[in-house]
Amino acid sequence: MRKQQSVWSQPYFVIGFAILIILLGSSFVFEWVAGNVPKHTSYIEENGRPVEGQPISPRLEAPIHILGTDQHGYDVLAKIILGAKYTIIGAMSVAALRMLIAVPLGLMIGTCWRKYRKAFQSVLDPIHYLPMTIFAVLILSPILWMPKEGFTTTMTERIIIEVIILALLTSPIVISLVANEADMIYSEEFISASKTLGAGNGRIIRKHMLPLMREKLFVLFGQQVVETLILFTHLGLLKLFLGGTKVSYDPDMPDPPMSISYEWAGQFGDSFRFLAGAPWLPLSPALFFALLIISVSCMMEGFTRTMNPQVSIKKKRANRLAIPEEVIEWNQEQLREKMSLLRIRD
């Protein structure tokens, strides 16, 4: 029997995991070392004359701002590093909670409650077509939008409430996917043989279904992380930021809604209005969003290749056994020469 290959031997998985750890680790270390976001409010001067004010464009000269500053003078790169942990942990928490809710229920619908599966599917399938962003906005607005008297909850409490609500909103879709996969496996002949030998549904789920579905469940978890990041982006454009939206009610000089946690969707939604004048403000968090999605996709690809090594082995064997055309032509020439020698001898 071929030994199971480790995911750490797959470069795709290692690269994706390394990007994820670097983003998370740098966020915690930066908060522990710096504590806050650097601010540069003075003008960039040349020959004693002011040239550029806030927002300052990306620059490598002193004062160094690799990704520039925002309209208040805060360093954009520092904000992105600080907000990385909230973005990554928030998205993974939503995806993990969805899986914890959906996998047991989906397996039960696909095995123990098969006779009610059509009834469940008739309820779950239409949810695919509901606009989840609109429902999330309606439910989360009273929680995330700061009232005039200020928040009565802490940022941690608001993040936990948002994670739970976003997980519950889209769990029915994941339940439907898991139930369909479980029902397909339950119809296989080896499952019928196991039932004939006396195996119960619990043993069938534990010994047969979960090992067969392990790869698809991991990929499904990665897809849920990506979908959660996209949902965060939609909420950010609608000014509902992870951890709460700080709102100014000053009648004379009201500030626009701001993100409290510096999470990337909040930075993107808060700075989207600067896309024409200061494009580095919305594009910087968008690029880090893309980098995070690429890292998750690499981890899914690496895990899939680890679980299915036969595909890569077959390709390697096919390439190894492929005979170059030059060798074939050379063998044909040798055969013609031997045939001509035999004719001469005859």
In a domain, 341, yes or no: no
* Type of residue at 277: G
CATH number for position 28? 1.10.3720.10
Distance CA 163, CA 181 (A): 26
Q: Indicate whether 221 belongs to any domain.
A: yes
Give domain status of residue 132, yes or no: yes
91-123 pLDDT per residue, tens: 999 999 999 999 999 998 888 888 887 888 888
pTM of the complete model:
0.82
Structural domain tally of the chain?
Answer: 1
Please give the residue range of the domain that contains residue 160.
7-37+75-307
- Joined together, the tokens standing for residue 249 give 């009610």
In a domain, 198, yes or no: yes
Is pLDDT at 304 greater than 70 in this prediction?
Answer: yes
312 in any annotated domain? no
Indicate the SS3 state at residue 75: strand
* d(C-alpha 55, C-alpha 229), whole Å: 26
Q: Does 70 map to a domain?
A: no
* Residue 159 forms part of a structural domain: yes
Q: Tell me: the pLDDT tens digits for 314-330? A: 444 544 544 454 444 54
Beta bridge partners of 80: none
Average pLDDT over residues 207-215: 86
Q: What's the whole-number average pLDDT of the chain? A: 82
Look at residue 335 and tell me if it is in a domain: no
Taking the C-alpha atoms of residue 24 and residue 90, their distance in angstroms, rounded to an integer, is 12
